Amino acid sequence: MAISNAMQEYLAETYRLAHYQQDDPYVSTSALARVMGVSAPAVTRMVQRLKDAGYLQHEPYQGIRLTADGERQALLNIRRHRLVERFLVDVMRLGWHEVHDAADDLGAVVTDKLVARMEQMAGFPRRCPHGEPIPSADGVMPQVVDHPLTEAEVGHDYVVSRANSHDEEKLKYLDTLGIKPGVSVHLVERAPFEGPLKLRVGQQTHFIGYAIALVIRVCYEDQFELRY
């Protein structure tokens, strides 16, 4: 069975959900429906198609998990999407808050040859504009070591690793503060009870709310460069 763009998108979202769970490879169909923005019956139909094609396993009371073929297709979709995002930001000069939906649209039509050219023009990046890792052409996902800014230690220097949000307003706000992947920051102070954080970015000091700090993931400098 030829795999459609819609099927690849479902597989990619299944991979992302399982990736963030870390210790559980099974994903609930309700969680998949939520991130895809579709109804439960629609997910059930697609899951059956993907299962019949050999891309998913479905275990009652546990959920769904990717097969080896399913993971390979998921990683190809994620690679294409993140490289297109990188191209749009680095070459076309779009803002990082503008490219997620555009990459979905373009990723559905660009060829592998064109994606390879985009990768070259963007300088063979290892991360997307939001800091997420880009799988290699042979399906290897680089390992990211980071943690939420809300769990960082006061008084330490960090590098922004990822911004776990596609919310345009949040990304634009972070942009105004200069908080983007690869930027060095110093956590000066954190108020108790989910209070604001005081953060030094370059020569500027900012207070950011706990809610926005939750989407920022940081790492130590030697952990930022990803390897396949």
Mean pLDDT for 213-223 is: 97
- pLDDT at residue 92 greater than cutoff 90: yes
Mean pLDDT for 82-105 is: 96
- pLDDT at residue 23 greater than cutoff 90: no
| Residues whose CB is less than 8 angstroms from the CB of residue 119 and which lie 6 or more positions away in sequence, other chains included | 83, 86, 87, 125
pLDDT one-digit tens code per residue, 111-131: 999 999 999 999 999 999 999
Distance, CA of 70 to CA of 201 (rounded, Å) = 41
Fold of 147-224: SH3 type barrels. (2.30.30)
The architecture that CATH gives domain 72-142 is Orthogonal Bundle (1.10)
In the chain, where are the structural domains located? 5-66, 72-142, 147-224
The answer to whether the 5-66 and 72-142 domains have the same CATH topology is yes
Q: Out of 3.40.50.720, 3.40.50.300, 2.40.430.10, 1.10.10.10, select the CATH number for domain 5-66.
A: 1.10.10.10
For the entire predicted model, the pTM comes to: 0.90
